[in-house]
Amino acid sequence: MKVISRRSVGALLATALGTFLVAVGLTQTPVAAQGAADQKMEQAFKNIKSLNGQSAELLLPTMVYFEAALGVGCPYCHDNDAAKRELDTKPTKQVARRMIEMVNAVNKNTFGGAPRVTCFTCHSGRPEPIGMPNVIGQALPPALGEDYYDNLPAAPAVPTGMSAGQLLDKYIAAVGGEAAVQKAPSLMAAGTVTQRRIGRPFPAQQVEISSKAPGMELIVTKAGQADNLVAYGPAALWAKAGNGAARNLRKAEGDATRLEDAFNLPAQIKQLLMEPKVERPEIVLGRELYVVSGRTPNLPRVKLYFEKESGMLRRLTYYTESSFGQYPTQIDYTDVRDVSGRKVPFTWVISQTRNREFTWAMQNVRAAAVEDAKFARPAAAAASQ
């Protein structure tokens, strides 16, 4: 039988654990002498509801363990008055009781009662567990305790005097605007795409991109003797791996393909992005950037990061929904150059959560006429007679 790793268990439970601390007090008044033989927690302390039957000797070590696991102190769940720790004055204590019952049930039903899952499995020193995977190369938030976070400088305020629409318009103007797209609506690009996984090198693959505004793209990746194709246009969104049959992209795949289209994004971002709003600025690669968030019809969240002065897009992150939570894909744009009046990236990096990173590096991008038929899905092969 395959044993589930602690990391896998943590990932499955992270979104469920929420705020987790034991629902008893570290300094509450005992109801009986602490030294009595074989005392249970409910005999020695008041208002015990989720740790009944356990030895009273375990209470103080349990409190210390939970403090370490969440990076918090007693008042996180208990009354601020140390003489009233047994009172249920904070909602977090009720949450804690439910979480204790849940963890006990998981260990009983999945691991035969062995304490394989603990509060640290998911919290890892943080008051709120991390329920979303991080993209490759992105550090997790530090687990430095509640005092550290309480004393951090205030986050930047949401900018006033500008709308999401204005930031998007500034971006579109920065890359040349509609006039530049009309002048050079189609682009042909050639370069490489290189996959990186930590500990596993991959050779660069040749890639060719055909692009036509406002929303058509064909990517041909040279893979041995057969090409891998991904394309979209007004009629279809499809992919074809090697000699296999072409398949339609799923709805979320289609939205992601449009967002990853580095050349056509400015021409269609305002149509793709629904319910856009300005968020707090964020620091990206040492620079404070404006942030606009929204969603697409099939992706729950999209974030765009713009340079304050130029309006250029430096990062785009979109989130995909799964049965167990969302996960991000991050795109960073660099090496922007002029092609017939259009500002287009020659290099961009797509970072995924599955320990994968893809660097797209174009050696040549030029304006060229491209027929619409190039983006059509190939016809299915006729059945053999």
Measure the CA–CA gap between 82 and 172, rounded to whole angstroms: 58
pLDDT of residue 66: 87
Amino acid letter, residue 182:
Q
Task: Say if residue 72 is exposed, middle or buried (CB neighbours under 10 Å; 0-12, 13-18, 19+).
Answer: buried
Name which of 24-33, 271-280, 341-350 the model is least confident about: 24-33
pLDDT of residue 238: 96
Q: What is the mean pLDDT of residues 154-164?
A: 91
pLDDT of residue 37: 61
Which CATH topology does 164-217+251-371 take? outer membrane lipoprotein receptor (LolB), chain A (2.50.20)
pLDDT of residue 225: 76
**pTM for the predicted model, two decimal places:** 0.82
Q: What is the mean pLDDT of residues 167-175?
A: 97
Q: How long, in residues, is the chain?
A: 385
Q: Which two tokens stand for residue 70?
A: 């969440």
> What are 201-245's pLDDT values in tens digits?
899 999 999 999 999 999 999 987 789 999 999 889 999 999 899
> What are 24-81's pLDDT values in tens digits?
444 454 554 445 568 999 999 999 999 999 999 998 889 888 888 888 999 999 999 9
> What are 96-110's pLDDT values in tens digits?
999 899 999 999 999
Beta bridge partners of 366: 188
Query: What is the phi/psi pair of residue 231, to 5°?
Result: -150, 155
pLDDT band for position 256 (cuts 50, 70, 90): very high
Name which of 20-29, 220-229, 257-266, 372-381 the model is least confident about: 20-29
pLDDT of residue 13: 43
pLDDT of residue 288: 95
Q: Are 186 and 211 in contact (CB under 8 A)?
A: yes
Predicted confidence (pLDDT) at residue 91 exceeds the cutoff of 70: yes
pLDDT of residue 381: 58
Q: What is the mean pLDDT of residues 101-129?
A: 93
Q: Which of 298, 331, 299 is nearest to 315 (CA)?
A: 331
In the chain, count of helices (H) and strands (E)? Answer: 10, 13
pLDDT band for position 153 (cuts 50, 70, 90): confident
Q: What is the mean pLDDT of residues 288-294?
A: 97
Query: What is the phi/psi pair of residue 366, to 5°?
Result: -140, 155
Q: What is the mean pLDDT of residues 100-121?
A: 94
N- to C-terminal Cα separation, the chain? 46
Q: What is the mean pLDDT of residues 259-285?
A: 96
164-217+251-371 and 6-131 share a CATH fold: no
Predicted confidence (pLDDT) at residue 374 exceeds the cutoff of 90: yes
Q: Are 145 and 125 in contact (CB under 8 A)?
A: yes
Amino acid letter, residue 126:
R
Q: Which CATH architecture has domain 6-131?
A: Orthogonal Bundle (1.10)
pLDDT of residue 26: 42
Domain ranges of the chain: 6-131, 164-217+251-371
- Choose the most confident range, by mean pLDDT, from 2-11, 52-61, 132-141, 302-311: 302-311
Measure the CA–CA gap between 221 and 205, rounded to whole angstroms: 7
pLDDT of residue 18: 40
**What's the mean pLDDT when you consider all of the chain?**
88
Measure the CA–CA gap between 125 and 10, rounded to whole angstroms: 13
Task: Give me the helices (H) in the chain, please.
Answer: 6-17, 41-44, 59-70, 91-111, 119-123, 146-150, 164-174, 177-183, 251-259, 265-272
Residue with tokens 């580095």: 262
